[in-house]
Homo-oligomer: A and B are copies of this chain.
């Protein structure tokens, strides 16, 4: 581990960006030297105030990314602005232009080589030219449903297929999360939200591609299926009442198919009252592996932690657009 101080610019101050900010401040190796966001309620304020801390950090939030990047001596930028690669692309290229490494939580950037090959190439070439590295990570995509199953196959002589389950009980989660998974709405409303793209977990296809590429599997196609999980009876959770027949939450399945066989199956389910929440990886191979994380991993903490923990790894990585499959393993470090 590099013992030197690491200077960081935090680019994007939504809930995840602010949680990462608070994590970075707690770990002595990091110094935040810049903060970028376009939200007029945040611009001009001290980052400590915006992050809900009781102290000033002497870092003023700026909407002028170019100016912050140009004037800072940061080694890396933590980019947490958007899930869409098209949205985030100009921001990444701008950061690269200023010679900074990038670690991002952009879901579509986790493995864009097949879903957005042109943008992937463009970012890769720009990063190589400037000798910096770009990595996107997070709990999912980035770790639980791609890196971890992929890494566990290390001990397998053969792998026939891989199933990953991420099953969450949303009963005690924040209301915005419950709304995000469609809890309480009718099937029609649910399907309308799926159709207009507002009810969707981003990243299953990227995870499927990441696993397949690492294992050398050429898939015929991928699928991403979103369905409501419907209440069989009236259910109440806190203030929320869910009528029989309405959605308890969502089930989303990412498939990687070859010769009509489901080689990779990623099952993400989050509902009110889900029993036995878990993260589970099943490798049908030699030896077979059936691995379960009891109660699953808390998503928000995990995403912020892995993004922070990735920083020294990204700084030392080979230049270019990297993935979780081709950088050194990330660990929590002090």
Which chain A residues have a beta carbon within 8 Å of chain B's beta carbons? 1, 23, 26, 139, 143-144, 147-148, 150-159, 214-217, 285-287, 289-295, 297-298, 301-306, 308-310, 324-334
Taking the nearest CB of chain B, how far is it from the CB of A198, in angstroms?
27
**Residue contact B293 to A290, C-beta cutoff 8 Å:** yes
Query: Given A1-B216, A292-B294, A294-B292, are A332 and B154 also a contact pair (CB < 8 Å)?
Result: yes
**Residue contact B305 to A157, C-beta cutoff 8 Å:** yes
Query: 21 A-B residue contacts at CB 8 Å?
Result: A26-B157, A139-B155, A143-B155, A147-B151, A150-B329, A151-B330, A153-B331, A154-B310, A154-B331, A155-B302, A156-B332, A157-B301, A157-B308, A159-B332, A287-B297, A289-B297, A290-B295, A291-B292, A291-B294, A324-B329, A327-B328
Taking the nearest CB of chain B, how far is it from the CB of A20, in angstroms?
10
The SS class assigned to the A binding surface is: mixed
Chain B contacts for A214, CB-based, 8 A: 329, 331, 333
Taking the nearest CB of chain B, how far is it from the CB of A270, in angstroms?
17
A151 partner, pick from B287, B302, B331, beta carbons under 8 A: B331
Chain B contacts for A332, CB-based, 8 A: 153-154, 156-159, 215, 285
Identify 20 new A-B residue pairs, CB closer than 8 A, beyond the known A154-B310, A214-B329.
A1-B216, A26-B157, A143-B155, A147-B154, A148-B152, A150-B331, A151-B151, A151-B330, A153-B331, A157-B308, A159-B332, A214-B333, A215-B334, A287-B297, A291-B293, A291-B294, A292-B292, A325-B329, A327-B328, A328-B328
Copies of this chain held together in the complex: 2
Taking the nearest CB of chain B, how far is it from the CB of A103, in angstroms?
12
Most B CB within 10 A of own CB, among A144, A157, A158, A289: A157
Most B CB within 10 A of own CB, among A152, A295, A304: A152
Chain B contacts for A298, CB-based, 8 A: 287
**Residue contact A330 to B154, C-beta cutoff 8 Å:** yes
**Residue contact B329 to A301, C-beta cutoff 8 Å:** no
**Residue contact A329 to B297, C-beta cutoff 8 Å:** no
Q: Complex: how many Å from CA A90 to CA B327?
A: 31
**Residue contact B154 to A215, C-beta cutoff 8 Å:** no
Taking the nearest CB of chain B, how far is it from the CB of A87, in angstroms?
25
- Nearest to A287 among chain B residues (CB) is B298
Chain B contacts for A26, CB-based, 8 A: 157
Q: Which 4 A-B pairs have the closest CB atoms?
A: A155-B302, A153-B332, A154-B330, A287-B298
Chain B contacts for A328, CB-based, 8 A: 325-328
Chain B contacts for A155, CB-based, 8 A: 139, 143-144, 297, 301-303, 305-306
**Residue contact B216 to A154, C-beta cutoff 8 Å:** no
A289 partner, pick from B151, B293, B310, B331, beta carbons under 8 A: B293
Chain B contacts for A287, CB-based, 8 A: 297-298, 301-302
- Nearest to A26 among chain B residues (CB) is B157
Q: Complex: how many Å from CA A157 to CA B158?
A: 34
Most B CB within 10 A of own CB, among A26, A139, A286: A286
